[in-house]
Amino acid sequence: MSRIGKKPVELPSGVTASVSGQTIEVKGPKGTRSFTATDDVTLAVEDSSVSVTPRGSSKRARQQWGMSRSQVANLVQGVTGGFKKELEIQGVGYRAQVQGNTLKLNLGYSHDVDFDVPAGITVTCPKQTEIVVEGIDQQLVGQVAANIREWRAPEPYKGKGIRYKGEFIFRKEGKKK
């Protein structure tokens, strides 16, 4: 029995869900998202909640049960509050700024890095050393943040680079004389 799958997903006020076949579409104040479940589960909308039930007791059906419920919960959270990842830049001369739909990064290379922000994602820089990635799609927000971090991942000796806010970087000791 899936402990997560058993719980119905509550729909807050202002959020509507509709099921057609195996696809659920959730509309809220921030936008519309949809998810297509596998044939191993059944999606149902009752009152102000969405319930997911497995079809049969096979191992695959039980696996898809909890995963599908989590996906539906993420849709609801995305259209109500959205998702956010915060990055911080450490290093002398490293900075970021947003110009239109492009994130300009100075990361110690001989050239500036121009990162084009995909549709559905908003990137802001409250300070020159902070980047905030926001959107309604959790997977896309995480992927964009990972792609930005990839340009200069934190190195273990001085800790310079782009890191997630609150991320711990294991530091190494330098050479001995």
Q: Can you give the pLDDT at residue 20?
A: 92
Angle at alpha carbon of residue 27, lines to 43 and 146, rounded to 5°? 90
> For residues 6 and 42, what is the distance between their CA atoms, to the nearest angstrom?
12
Q: Does domain 3-80 have CATH number 3.30.70.360?
A: no
Q: List per-residue pLDDT tens for the chain, 177 residues long.
A: 668 888 999 999 999 999 999 999 999 999 999 999 999 999 999 889 999 999 988 999 988 999 999 999 999 999 999 999 999 999 999 999 999 999 999 999 999 999 999 999 999 999 999 999 999 999 999 999 999 999 999 999 999 999 999 999 999 998 888
Find the helix or strand (DSSP H, E) in which 146 lies: helix 138-150
Topology adopted by domain 83-164: Outer Surface Protein A; domain 3 (3.90.930)
User: DSSP string of 100-138?
Assistant: TTEEEEE-SSSS-EEEEPPTTEEEE-SSTTEEEEEES-H
pLDDT of residue 1: 63
| Domain ranges in the chain with CATH number 3.90.930.12 | 3-80, 83-164
pTM: 0.87
Neighbours of 106 (CB within 10 A): 16
Residue type, 16: T
